[in-house]
Amino acid sequence: MDAILVTGNGPLSGQIPIAGAKNAALALMPATLLSEEPLTLTNAPRLSDIKTMSDLLRSLGSEVTSLNDDMVIALSSQNLDNLTADYDIVRKMRASNLVLGPMLARAGQAVVSLPGGCAIGARPMDIHITALEALGAKIDLKDGYLHAKAPTKGLIGARHEMRFASVGATENFVMAATLANGTSQLVNAAREPEIVDLVECLRKMGAQIEGEGSPVITIQGVDWLHGATHPVVSDRIELGTYMLVPAIAGGEVELIGGRMNLVAAFCEKLDEAGIDVSETANGLRVKRRDGAVKSVDVKTEVFPGFPTDLQAQMMALMCTAQGTSMLEETIFENRFMHAPELMRMGANIEVHGGTARVSGVENLKGAPVMATDLRASVSLILAGLAAEGETLVSRVYHLDRGYEKLEQKLQAVGAKIERVAGK
């Protein structure tokens, strides 16, 4: 099993290109199930989760081809010859449940295993189920599989209010409603850029949708959708992660393809911490304002608030900041599993339930540490950039689910980092 060896070596400078958003691509790919015509996605990220979704779609009868060094994905779902999303594939990745809505809408039925992914809390499926039931679907849980059926004449447009703004449930509902009979309205919809990106793609395919990016999305059902070509939006979590590289290690880095509106709440916290973020012709430039980083308090919230997927990385930065910060996690339980590993590097962290108190230390020390989930793994690498000596991060298979070519991107700005064979 691979590990990553990081040696802290001072300020970094250069450019880092930002890939297409994993979470956007994983919602866009199942949209192929809504149409018999081809869907082509450009600016696709090259990640193991994308391969898993490709395998899942192929198992349902879709054709999936990767082109242009895997940055273009060509999908065609003319023949859906299997309507069961099998546990062996679904267990690998949470986003597998996004095939449920499209299959129901187009084929009138679907059998989908309960999903897997990172072990960061319950992430309930019931919010997906109630959303699709609002459109007339009947859904039963048997032997770990959701058995879903649409009414004989297809899904029926309806108004549905979600108890919280779930991204996945918003995506499932919107995709299903594109082919429903009549008008649907989703209240308390998620507002993330990935939702906006999905809607823009569905609109290119002929869907009639308005209100994306707001809490109320309205969908007028159509009889069929056609093919389209669509570029995947830049990954705001990858963007935020790499913005922290010069913040924690010093120096100045330009993030190619970055946009301020993707990470506005995050930029506000960086500004408070003494980190300058400015727009360039090609993206965003980030550097420390006057040397030391200041402690800031962070509370994770649904978009447009501070993203839970940047909490671990922000904690790494706060470990070396001046003063004491409080980090409150409101989205997922069990999401401070990186704290004990950062403490192995000399960090001063106290965790109480959903809150972590981080008192900045002068220096972190390199140490052998273990990744527990995707974002935790990259927080340890960031900490390694700022630490004295060598940090060996094991179990980095988590990392490959969310960051493409991480070592190469960091090497390009001067970091001493390499992948090594694990023990």
Give residue-wise pLDDT tens across range 56-71: 999 999 999 999 999 9
The model's confidence at residue 33, banded by pLDDT at 50, 70 and 90, is very high
What's the length of the chain? 423
Overall average pLDDT of the 32-50 stretch: 95
* Structure tokens belonging to residue 337: 């599993």
User: How many whole angstroms separate alpha carbon 40 and alpha carbon 94?
Assistant: 23
Q: Is the model's pLDDT at 375 over the cut of 90?
A: no
Higher per-residue pLDDT: 88 or 171: 171
Find where tokens 């449920």 sit.
100
Query: Looking at per-residue confidence, does 47 or 226 come out higher?
Result: 226
pLDDT at 118: 44
Give the DSSP letter of residue 310: G
Question: How does strand 138-142 pair with strand 109-113?
Answer: unpaired
pLDDT at residue 82 in the model: 93
**Is the pLDDT assigned to residue 117 strictly greater than 70?**
no
Q: The tokens of 301 are what?
A: 């919230």
pLDDT the model gives residue 89: 87
- Sheet containing 228-231: give its strands across: 63-67, 72-76, 39-42, 228-231
Q: Which of 297, 288, 290 is nearest to 249 (CA)?
A: 288
Structure tokens at 336: 């401070």
- Taking only Cα atoms into account, the Rg of the chain, rounded to an integer number of angstroms, comes to 22
- Angle formed by the axes of helices 167-177 and 193-204, to 10°? 10
For residue 142, the model assigns a pLDDT of: 87
Query: How far apart are the C-alpha atoms of 265 and 273, rounded to whole Å?
Result: 13
**Is residue 413's pLDDT more than 50?**
yes
Residue 71, φ and ψ in degrees, nearest 5: -90, -5
Tell me which residue has tokens 């990392």: 399
Q: Using 50, 70 and 90 to split pLDDT, how confident is the model at 423?
A: low
Tokens of 347: 């960090």
Is residue 20 scored above 90 in pLDDT? yes
DSSP E strands in 158-274: the ranges are 159-161, 183-187, 208-210, 216-220, 228-231, 251-256
Average pLDDT of every residue of the chain: 93
Cis peptide before 246 (omega within 30 of 0): no
Of 20-24, 153-157, 252-256, 399-403, the least confident: 399-403
Average of pLDDT values for 378-402?
92
91, pLDDT greater than 90: no
- Which pLDDT band, with edges at 50, 70 and 90, does 124 fall under? low
Place of tokens 């956007």: 24
Query: Strand pairing partners for 355?
Result: 328, 352
Q: Which domains does the chain have, with CATH numbers?
A: 2-19+234-421 (3.65.10.10), 22-231 (3.65.10.10)
Known catalytic residues are 118
Q: What is the mean pLDDT of residues 335-351?
A: 94
pLDDT, position 63: 97
Evaluate if residue 120 carries a pLDDT over 50.
no
Asked whether residue 340 carries a pLDDT value surpassing 90, the answer given is: yes
The alpha-helical segments, DSSP class H, found in 282-364 are 311-318, 339-344
Tens-place pLDDT, residues 314-335: 999 999 999 999 999 998 777 7
Pick the residue with more confidence: 143 or 105?
105
Over the stretch 251-307, which tens digit does the pLDDT of each residue have? 999 999 999 999 999 999 999 999 999 999 999 999 999 878 999 999 999 889 999
Residue 422, pLDDT > 80, answer: no
126 token code pair: 């019931």
Whole-prediction pTM: 0.85
